[in-house]
């Protein structure tokens, strides 16, 4: 049996020190890679890292060191300059300290005692200012101690499978006006096998980094003269996006969605009505026009509501399904911008469905089916999570029950094995989150399906029911990809740039051996373009081998080399990168084949 590291009692996780004082015997939590155990392991490892930093940099002061999805981190400051190379030194010191088998003890101080203890530490004072109550937990191991709620391991000897992963900067408390601290991230597991598997995943992720591949393949770029977080789509990247949009659009039309488009800038008064002004203002951009304040839209909901309000609606009109590839802007902090995954301008594959409460289940089932087809086309495994009513919410119990039950029924009738996040819904309604797993096992939050009773109420949306009474519709927010920017980043890393033929930015490269074959090559290219296949011609004065290498760098699925024999016999010599084969094909046979390949996938 594994080592016991903590106790679960009354739905709370306690460390062994607390458990001895405050708990009767409860359910044991074992030293494994379960989420409960990893939380304790990683929390303790954060303190181990801080102790190592303190021993190496004696003037170091520490802010916070929480557990996060990607492991743990600690924010601190020191007069010494920390570089990526120093992570190796810090990690070595951590291993040395862990082997000392230091007992980890807990002490409770009053607010007065804690203030006196950390009177000369402005970062600890900043931490305490955010904590209510008169009791502060202090965890100590050897000469190191820090404020913490816990729980922790009983001894540093349990920490043996960890790695520091990256160095970053972070503003104190996330405030851009505050001082910049150093942040070091790390990861920890219960065993070295799992750690090694994770390290391998990190190495593979570096090879697949969409920022690196995007530059190599000429998909997109950023220009500081334009601004941070504002991507520039180059022709190849724009072609990739357009193909995804075309597939989506065709599927949306079949599913009876109507295209709409709202303005990108709206008066602030409408954002006050929606609640964004009070609850989301810090993430928005504003400007004055004729002394009237306007806000650039951070989401497309309000525009679609105005489309709904443009006509009197009857129950016979419902459900109404509106979609828009809407460009939105959000004021993201510079420290969190990350390639296409986190930008300030992006395009959502947004849709809003206005329906009766009795129609929620059917609409959500349609969305689930749509999701299944999209994820299947790209080879993604995915899971869904249902989030229910939080403690602070609006709307009647009856409507919440109808909405939540409809989501549950839709998931169950579609045989979806889902998790439940109790109380994790939005204040205006329950939701389903779509989380995908890529080729190397990483999970990504992607789409969402949200039931909204708030905005219909705020904007007094109505429809006439069968008895001529006025009823309030339910609004379903739906985005499956999330945003084209984020989805392209995920796709690029999922495929390692080796996009499937049906969405590849350049599907075929045509290489004439000499200028004599150029007329035939251009003829073939024109025929390919007419059937929706994009082909590039490499006719520069370079060697054949160099042309092939350049095409390989672009990760183009097919290369067709055309010499005098090919022109005479109207054939193409194909190098198929995906199947790793070479073959010859008659022109018509080849055109028929690639046309079929373009139609193999639909949503």
Active site (catalytic) residues: 301, 330, 348, 350, 352, 431, 477
For residue 370, the surrounding DSSP H or E stretch is helix 360-378
3-state SS of 529-555?
A: HHCCCCEEECCCCCCHHHHHHHHHHCC
CB-neighbour burial class of residue 326 (10 A; exposed 0-12, middle 13-18, buried 19+): buried
Whether 570 contacts 558, CB under 8 Å: no
| Secondary structure (DSSP) of 57-95 | STT-EE----EETTEEEEEEE-SSPP-TTHHHHHHHHHH
CA gap 304, 18 in Å, rounded: 53
Whether 241 contacts 489, CB under 8 Å: no
Task: Give, in order, the Cα–Cα distances in Å from 275 to each of 159, 268, 272, 279.
Answer: 47, 10, 5, 6
What's the N-to-C CA distance of the chain in angstroms?
48
| Among the listed residues 483, 485, 536, the one whose alpha carbon sits nearest the alpha carbon of residue 233 | 485
CA gap 11, 19 in Å, rounded: 13
Q: Which residue has the tokens 């060697």?
A: 543
| Secondary structure (DSSP) of 181-216 | EEEEEEEE-SSHHHHHHHHHHHHHHHHH-HHHHHHH
CA gap 357, 355 in Å, rounded: 7
CB-neighbour burial class of residue 36 (10 A; exposed 0-12, middle 13-18, buried 19+): middle
């Amino acid at each position: 049996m594994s080592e016991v590291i903590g106790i679960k009692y009354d739905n709370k996780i306690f460390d062994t020190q607390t458990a001895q004082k405050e708990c009767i015997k409860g359910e044991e939590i074992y030293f494994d890679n379960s989420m409960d155990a990893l939380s304790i392991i990683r929390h303790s490892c954060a303190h181990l890292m801080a102790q190592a930093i303190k021993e190496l940099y004696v003037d170091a002061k520490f802010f916070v060191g929480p557990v996060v999805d990607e492991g743990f981190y600690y924010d601190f400051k020191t007069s010494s300059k920390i570089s990526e190379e120093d992570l190796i030194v810090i990690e070595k010191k951590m291993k040395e300290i862990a082997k000392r088998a230091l007992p980890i003890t807990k002490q409770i101080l009053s607010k007065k005692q804690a203030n006196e203890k950390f009177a000369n530490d402005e970062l600890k004072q900043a931490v305490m200012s955010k904590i209510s109550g008169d009791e502060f937990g202090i965890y100590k191991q050897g000469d190191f101690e820090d404020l913490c709620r816990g729980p922790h391991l009983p001894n540093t000897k349990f920490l043996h499978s960890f790695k520091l992963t990256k160095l970053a900067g972070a503003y104190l408390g996330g405030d851009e006006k505050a001082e910049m601290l150093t942040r070091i991230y790390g990861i920890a597991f219960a065993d070295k096998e799992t750690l090694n598997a994770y390290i391998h995943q990190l190495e593979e992720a570096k090879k697949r980094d969409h920022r690196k591949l995007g530059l190599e393949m000429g998909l997109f770029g950023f220009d500081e003269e334009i601004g941070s977080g504002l991507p520039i789509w180059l022709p190849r990247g724009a072609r990739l996006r357009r193909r995804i949009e075309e597939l989506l659009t065709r599927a949306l039309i079949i599913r009876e969605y109507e295209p709409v488009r709202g303005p990108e800038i709206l008066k602030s008064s409408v954002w006050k009505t929606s609640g964004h002004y009070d609850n989301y203002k810090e993430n928005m951009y504003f400007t004055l026009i004729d002394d009237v304040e306007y806000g650039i839209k951070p989401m497309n909901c309000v525009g679609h509501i105005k489309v709904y309000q443009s006509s009197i609606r009857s129950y016979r009109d419902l459900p109404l399904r509106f979609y828009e590839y809407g460009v939105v802007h959000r004021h993201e902090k510079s420290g969190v911008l990350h390639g296409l995954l986190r930008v300030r301008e992006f395009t959502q594959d947004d849709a809003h469905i206005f329906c009766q409460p009795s129609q929620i289940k059917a609409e959500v089932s349609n969305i689930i089916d749509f999701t299944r087809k999209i994820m299947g086309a790209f080879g993604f495994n995915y899971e869904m999570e249902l989030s229910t009513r939080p403690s602070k919410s609006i709307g009647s119990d009856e409507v919440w029950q109808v909405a939540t039950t409809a989501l549950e029924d839709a998931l169950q009738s579609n045989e979806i094995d889902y998790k439940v996040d109790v109380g994790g819904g939005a204040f205006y309604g329950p939701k389903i989150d779509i989380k995908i797993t890529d080729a190397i096992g990483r999970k990504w939050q992607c789409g969402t399906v949200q039931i909204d009773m708030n905005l219909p109420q705020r904007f007094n949306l109505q429809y006439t029911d069968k008895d001529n009474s006025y009823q309030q519709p339910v609004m379903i927010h739906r985005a499956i990809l999330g945003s084209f920017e984020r989805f392209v980043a995920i796709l690029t890393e999922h495929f390692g740039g080796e996009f499937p033929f049906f969405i590849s930015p350049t599907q075929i490269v045509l290489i004439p051996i000499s200028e004599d074959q150029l007329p035939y090559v251009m003829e073939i290219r024109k025929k390919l373009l007419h059937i929706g296949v994009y082909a590039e011609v490499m006719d520069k004065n370079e060697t054949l081998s160099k042309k092939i290498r350049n095409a390989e760098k672009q990760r183009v699925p097919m290369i067709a080399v055309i010499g005098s024999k090919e022109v005479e016999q109207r054939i193409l010599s194909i190098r198929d990168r995906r199947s790793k084969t070479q073959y010859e094909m008659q022109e018509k046979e080849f055109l028929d084949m690639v046309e079929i390949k373009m139609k193999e996938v639909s949503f």
